[in-house]
Amino acid sequence: VNKQLKSTIGVSSNDLRFKFWEEMLFKIFQNPYSDQVIGEPVGLLLRDGIRNEFNLSPEGFNQILSTRKHFLSKSYFQNTDELCSYGEGLYSQLNYIVQNLLLSNQLSPSTIKLVEESSELQNLITEISAHIGQSTGIASIVIGTKYYAQNKNQINLPIDIMTKYDLSQESLLRLFQGHEEQKADIEAKLKDVI
């Protein structure tokens, strides 16, 4: 369907989805007090949070959309740094959003006072959020390897590490799709890559 849409009207269903979310975020952050019907539960909750003066900004949400869009267009990682950037752009941003929410006056004024007193603590919290996000990104790609191989016919593990352990994308696709005869050898290499 994506290929057919892309060839006939020049956009894919992914493009339409991202456009929808980008426009919705823009409308919500541009004028959160508008009575315009949103029709999307996530958008309603986000607008309600902004109206209640929770500490929310559009940057994190836009970075998440941008990272996801880039991943869907590329769908592979050359190296571990690209994979970590994916985790930073997606999961760390979610951590930063939660961190900012928890530092909203309505939720925890005493925590805000504690964090404001220590720039070292502020930096440490941000660094921890970044590392947790990167780790989550790596874990999601590792856990999703079988799914992507079986359902999307793609391997997302970093190419440089696979090359280092002499593991090809083709052999992993054959393994996960049930066509590989030398399973033990491929599984051992995959274990080394992981």
Fill in the amino acid letter for 109.
P
Question: What does the mean pLDDT of the chain come to?
Answer: 89
Of 81 and 39, the structure prediction assigns the larger pLDDT to: 81
Please report the pLDDT score of residue 36 as a whole number.
Answer: 86
d(CA 168, CA 176): 13
Can you read off the two tokens belonging to residue 113?
């006072």
Provide the pLDDT for residue 4: 67
Amino acid letter at 69? K
Q: How far apart are CA 137 and CA 146, in angstroms?
A: 16
Q: What percent of the chain has pLDDT over 90?
A: 66
- C-alpha 91/C-alpha 98 separation (Å) is 11
Residue corresponding to tokens 């391997």: 155
Find all residues with CB under 8 Å of 134, minimum gap 6, and list them.
84, 87, 88, 91, 92
Per residue in 32-73, pLDDT (tens digit) is 999 888 889 999 999 999 999 998 999 999 999 999 999 888
- Stated as kind and residue range, the H or E segment containing 51 is helix 41-51
Q: What integer pLDDT is reported at residue 104 of this predicted model? A: 81
Angle at which helix 13-30 crosses helix 58-74, to 10 degrees, equals: 170
Judged against a pLDDT cut of 80, whether residue 171 lies above it is answered with: yes
Please choose, from the candidates 145, 134, 37, 33, the residue with its C-alpha nearest in 3D space to the C-alpha of residue 93. 134
Contact 121, 127 (CB under 8 A): no
Question: Can you give the pLDDT at residue 165?
Answer: 97
Q: Which two tokens stand for residue 161?
A: 């590490």
pLDDT for 6 equals 64
